[in-house]
């Protein structure tokens, strides 16, 4: 079979909300505290207790809904998702089922199917060799995490490749981070990504059988896991087999995919409405507040920057780093040069100079003020110094701060003008010193001019403008 198969990927992202307290009780949220020190009868599921919903969690969920342009349900309800496992003392998780708080929306090119509120499970810690109660090890439960508010965001299957999926997940994380509703730390589990992966013949509208890759805790692993699974499915289908619906675990160390459960073993959660909680009915005030709390989000910033002439790559780099983006905007405002040129200096030359100096801060925390960068870009754009000298000045600004003019003056970097005779003399000397190259250029060999330009640049220590040198060489060779 040689039908070309395309990837069809949807993501489910669990976001831990950064509220002060848990979803249904007053226990403080904690990470890294001693186990089982943030618990109470409610999150330990003692008999007879009643959950009370955390209003801040609802407000945060509404902010996520607003950022993802989701329709907000005027009245959504909680359900009990029944399952039996030590991480859930109630033997059910309070979640939302058929009426989630947020319905259809979108982020960038990917449609959001829904977003709902739920509580996190407790954390299982497997110790000892086998990690089983009956082996040499044991499984312990830390209930500190149990009951942490979560928003689960589910996309439509709109992603068409592993790299695209990872890139979009980064955009989502940055969006949620900028909202300030979660610390989105993947290593600590505040952001967890599952991927639904299938393939289908190109041009087909039907969805293939999907598998679910669970709990990838970095974007790199997400990309590698999805790549591995796509490869497995393609090979299977090309060999005449069929994909079975199952849940998989990707081991980033070995690159192996192992089955956690098949369709037959899939849970029947027996959802039913949570009788102890009232429906969520957001007020007009809550909806307005959620909308008004929105900062300019990365997707909108990317679009605005593209409108100002920045490339998509540079716009994306800036929009996902708000501090540097604000820096760029201040520099662009202070500069007479095009925004695109300033942006390229910020993300290119300045970033390189900071790396080279081993700086631990980005542009915003560096000694180079936006005004100094704007002045420097102006000097280069106005051909008062060459681009190479501009980089030299930038390296000095990174370590000593101040303004570029002082450094240009001190280092004698002012560009040599073509009309004061000095540059003409150097060009003439370069031609005289390399008659063979001059002859080749005269003979029509365009590339040979490089040797002459290089000689002039060495002599002027990069202070001459390359275009001007080219022009003078051709003029003197009477071309």
Compute how many other C-beta atoms are within 10 angstroms of the C-beta atom of residue 214.
16
For the CB of residue 42, give the shortest distance to Zn ion in the complex, in Å.
Answer: 5
DSSP class of residue 123?
A: E
Strands 92-95 and 79-82: antiparallel
Q: How far apart are CA 226 and CA 114, in angstroms?
A: 22
Asked whether the beta carbons of 201 and 5 are under 8 A apart, the reply is yes
- Residue with smaller CB distance to Zn ion, 46 or 270: 46
Cβ proximity to Zn ion: between 80 and 113 the closer is 80
Burial of 286 (0-12, 13-18, 19+ CB in 10 A): middle
Instruction: Count the neighbouring beta carbons within 10 Å of the beta carbon of residue 283.
Output: 8
Is the CB of 42 or the CB of 342 nearer to Zn ion? 42
Kindly compute the dihedral angle of the four CA atoms of residues 124, 129, 132, 135, in this order, to the nearest 10 degrees: -160
Nearest to 332 by CA among 377, 362, 277: 377
| Whole-number Å distance between alpha carbons of 45 and 57 | 20
- Tell me whether residue 25 or residue 363 sits nearer to Zn ion (CB atom): 25
Q: Which residue has the tokens 């002027």?
A: 460
Looking at beta carbons only, is 40 or 277 nearer to Zn ion? 40
Task: Count Cβ neighbours within 10 Å for each residue of 67-106 and write b for 16 or more, e otherwise.
Answer: bbebebbeebbbbbbbeeeebbbbebbbbbbebbbbbebe
**DSSP character string of 386-410:** -HHHHHHHHHHHHHH-S-HHHHHHH
Contact residues: Zn ion, CB under 5 A: 25, 27, 40, 42-43
Residue 158 to residue 164: CA distance in whole angstroms: 10
- The torsion angles phi and psi of 287, rounded to 5 degrees, stand at -65, -40
Cβ of residue 31: shortest distance to Zn ion, in angstroms?
16
CA–CA dist 131, 127 (Å, integer) = 5
- Could you tell me the smallest distance in angstroms from the CB atom of residue 122 to Zn ion? 11
Q: How far is the CB of 39 from Zn ion (least distance, A)?
A: 6
DSSP string of 184-222, one letter each residue: --TTTTSEEEEEEEEEEETT--S----EEEEEE-SHHHH
Give least dist CB 148 to Zn ion, A.
10
User: Which of residues 43 and 441 has its CB atom nearest to Zn ion in the complex?
Assistant: 43
CB of 90 to Zn ion, least distance (A): 12
Q: Are residues 320 and 174 in contact, defined by beta-carbon separation less than 8 angstroms?
A: yes
Residue 42 or residue 150: which is nearer to Zn ion going by CB?
42
Task: Give the nearer residue to Zn ion in terms of CB position, either 53 or 405.
Answer: 53
Whichever of 46 and 458 has its CB closer to Zn ion, that residue is 46
CB-nearer residue toward Zn ion: 27 or 438: 27
Do 160 and 9 touch, CB atoms closer than 8 A? Answer: yes
Distance of closest approach, residue 403 Cβ to Zn ion, in angstroms: 57
Least Å distance between CB 23 and Zn ion?
A: 9
């Amino acid at each position: 079979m040689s039908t070309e198969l395309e990837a069809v990927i949807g993501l489910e992202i669990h976001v831990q909300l950064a509220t002060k307290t848990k979803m249904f009780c007053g226990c403080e949220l904690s990470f890294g505290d001693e186990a089982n020190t943030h618990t109470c009868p409610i999150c330990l599921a003692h008999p007879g207790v009643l959950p009370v919903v955390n209003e801040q969690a609802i407000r945060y969920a509404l902010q996520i809904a607003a950022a993802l342009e989701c329709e907000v349900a005027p009245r959504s309800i909680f359900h009990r998702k029944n399952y039996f496992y030590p991480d859930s003392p109630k033997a059910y998780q309070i979640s939302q089922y058929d009426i989630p708080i947020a319905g259809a929306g979108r982020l960038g090119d990917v449609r959001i199917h829904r977003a709902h509120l739920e509580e996190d499970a407790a954390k299982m810690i497997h110790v000892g060799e086998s990690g089983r109660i009956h082996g040499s090890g044991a499984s312990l439960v830390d209930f500190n995490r149990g009951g942490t508010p979560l928003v689960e965001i589910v996309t439509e299957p709109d992603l068409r490749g592993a790299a695209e999926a990872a890139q979009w997940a980064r955009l989502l994380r940055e969006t949620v981070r900028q909202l300030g509703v979660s610390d989105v730390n993947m290593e600590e589990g505040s952001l967890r990504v599952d991927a639904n992966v299938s393939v289908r013949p190109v041009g087909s509208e039907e969805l293939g059988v999907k598998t679910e890759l669970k709990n990838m805790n970095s974007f790199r692993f997400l990309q590698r896991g999805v790549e591995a699974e796509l490869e497995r499915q393609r090979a299977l289908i090309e060999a005449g087999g069929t994909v079975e619906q199952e849940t998989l675990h990707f081991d980033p160390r070995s690159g192996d995919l192992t089955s956690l459960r098949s369709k037959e073993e899939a849970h029947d959660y027996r959802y039913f409405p949570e009788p102890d909680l009232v429906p969520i009915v957001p007020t007009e005030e809550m909806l307005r507040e959620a909308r008004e709390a929105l900062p300019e989000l990365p997707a909108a910033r990317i679009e605005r920057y593209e409108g100002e002439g920045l490339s998509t790559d540079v716009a994306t780099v800036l929009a996902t780093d708000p501090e540097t983006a604000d820096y760029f905007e201040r520099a662009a405002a202070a500069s007479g040069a095009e925004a695109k040129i300033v942006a390229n200096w910020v993300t290119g030359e300045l970033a390189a100079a900071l790396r080279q100096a081993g700086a631990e801060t980005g542009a915003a925390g560096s000694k180079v003020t936006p005004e100094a960068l704007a002045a420097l870009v102006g000097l280069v754009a106005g051909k008062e110094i060459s681009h190479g000298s501009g980089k030299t000045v930038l390296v000095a600004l990174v370590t000593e701060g101040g303004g570029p003019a002082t450094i240009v003056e001190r280092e004698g970097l002012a560009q040599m003008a073509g009309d004061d005779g000095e540059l003409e003399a150097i060009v003439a000397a370069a031609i005289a010193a390399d008659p063979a190259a001059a002859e080749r250029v005269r003979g029509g060999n365009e590339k040979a001019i490089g040797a002459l330009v290089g000689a002039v640049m060495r002599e002027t220590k990069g202070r001459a403008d390359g275009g001007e040198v080219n022009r003078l060489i051709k003029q003197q060779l009477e071309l």
